[in-house]
Amino acid sequence: NVATNAGGLRLLRYGSLHGTVLGLETVLPDGTVLDNMSTLRKDNTGYDLKQLFIGSEGTLGIITGVSMLTPKRAKSTNVALVGLESFEKVQETFHMAKDMLSEILSAFEFWDHKAAGLVRAHHGVGHKDPLTSQYPFYVLVETQGSDREHDMAKLNGFLEKLLESSIVDDGVIKSLWSLRELIPEACSKAGAVYKYDVSIPVPKLYTLVEDMRERLAAVGLLGQQVEEVIGYGHVGDGNLHLNITATSYDSKVTQAIEPYVYEWTAKHAGSISAEHGLGLMKAEKIGYSKSPSMIHLMRQIKQLIDPHGIMNPYKYFPSTHHHHHQQQ
């Protein structure tokens, strides 16, 4: 997880690994053990070398030890689910949640009606929609704090302002979260799935889903080979999971999606990998998220630490003859 800088559902409250890792022990390509196992919250001496290895995906060394700052388990957890009519309303709700729930807001997840439909279709028994009506968008708001009464009061005030008054108990917390957590599984049960994990500025977060639907409909694939285009993710950090379900994997579908999805993301100042690094599949796509000067510096760092190119040689940097992606 540290090597890929993996994110989670509660990044909104607890931050990323870049902020919670205090120290690392790393074995370099030449066998040197780099001992940086600090437990200090603050150390302003020299370069913060551990940050080079967080998210490096094994291209600079192997992480063998981690010192982490771990928050105490919250005493009070409350969850509410609301149905909304548009993605604009999702954004308004998020701004209101940040304003009214502030320090106790731990997660703010959204999904669209297509995602909800897949969960109903593939996990219908025991996962009845907790809301009486169906909506274009759903938002799950979670709070975590140390004082149950105080947290409940804040969440209640927030819900009343949203014209929803609902307090959930522990039994309902699990089923509400499962609605969100079952989406990836429901997608895979629907057939072949093309998955994209991108970061996009929040105002444009859902526009990619709408534009992709339009694009696949225009080329005659939506409703044929392509069954659904769904969007869900973490509004707090602008992380969208774009999933496209199809009857089977087909080069025509792939060509309609890529490189369009990467070009669209680059054009809207996003990142093509929000949560799990680039991996082997997207090594040649780094140019969509990093400028040539940044890639050049990364290559120099890689050359300095791993001059023989033995650490995950196929990750991050495309082979030279692929190194000319056109940015839009």
Which residue, of 241, 267, 293, is where some domain finishes? 267
Q: What is the pLDDT of residue 165?
A: 40
β partners of residue 79: 142
In terms of domains, do 112 and 197 share one?
A: no
What's the rounded Cα separation, in Å, for the pair 204 and 200?
Answer: 7
In terms of domains, do 171 and 201 share one?
A: no
Q: What is the pLDDT of residue 283?
A: 54
In terms of domains, do 205 and 256 share one?
A: yes
Q: What is the pLDDT of residues 248-279, one digit of tens each?
A: 999 999 999 998 999 999 999 998 875 555 55
What's the rounded Cα separation, in Å, for the pair 292 and 326?
Answer: 11
Helix ranges restricted to H, 57-182 = 87-101, 113-123, 148-161, 170-181
In terms of domains, do 177 and 223 share one?
A: no
Which residue, of 141, 168, 184, is where some domain finishes? 184
Q: What is the pLDDT of residue 284?
A: 66
In terms of domains, do 166 and 95 share one?
A: yes
Q: Is residue 313 assigned to a domain?
A: no
Q: What is the pLDDT of residues 264-321, one digit of tens each?
A: 999 999 988 755 555 545 556 777 778 888 888 888 998 999 999 888 877 666 554 3
Q: What is the pLDDT of residues 121-136, one digit of tens each?
A: 887 655 666 777 788 9
Q: Is residue 5 assigned to a domain?
A: no
Q: What percent of the chain has pLDDT over 90?
A: 37
Q: What is the pLDDT of residue 48?
A: 87
Lookup result for tokens 């940050």: 51
Q: Is residue 4 assigned to a domain?
A: no
Stretch 190-214: mean pLDDT: 93
CATH number of the CATH domain containing 160: 3.30.70.2190
Q: How far is CA 29 from CA 24, 62, 112, 213, 309, in A?
A: 16, 8, 45, 45, 9
Q: What is the pLDDT of residue 274?
A: 55
Stretch 7-25: mean pLDDT: 78
Q: Is residue 197 assigned to a domain?
A: yes
Neighbours of 49 (CB within 10 A): 12
Which residue, of 184, 212, 236, is where some domain finishes? 184
Q: What is the pLDDT of residue 229?
A: 96
If one counts the domains in the chain, the total is: 2
Q: What is the pLDDT of residue 321?
A: 35
In terms of domains, do 178 and 239 share one?
A: no
In terms of domains, do 196 and 229 share one?
A: yes
Stretch 221-250: mean pLDDT: 93
In terms of domains, do 167 and 223 share one?
A: no
Lowest pLDDT segment from 7-11, 20-24, 120-124, 250-254: 7-11
Q: What is the pLDDT of residue 18?
A: 81
Q: What percent of the chain has pLDDT over 70?
A: 84
Q: Is residue 64 assigned to a domain?
A: no
Stretch 80-91: mean pLDDT: 89
In terms of domains, do 81 and 175 share one?
A: yes
Range of the domain at 212: 191-267
Q: What is the pLDDT of residues 143-187, one digit of tens each?
A: 998 888 888 888 888 888 776 444 334 445 566 888 888 898 888
Burial class (CB in 10 A: 0-12, 13-18, 19+), 121: exposed
Q: What is the mean pLDDT of the chain?
A: 83
Q: Is residue 242 assigned to a domain?
A: yes
Long-range Cβ contacts of 16-19 (<8 Å, 24+ apart): 17/54, 17/55, 18/51, 18/54, 18/55
In terms of domains, do 90 and 134 share one?
A: yes
State the pTM of this model. Answer: 0.78
Q: Is residue 203 assigned to a domain?
A: yes
**Residue 198 corresponds to which tokens in the numbers above?**
């991108």
3-state secondary structure of 142: strand
Strands 33-36 and 76-84, bridge-based pairing: unpaired
Stretch 97-126: mean pLDDT: 87
In terms of domains, do 179 and 196 share one?
A: no
CATH number of the CATH domain containing 246: 3.30.70.2740
Q: Is residue 110 assigned to a domain?
A: yes
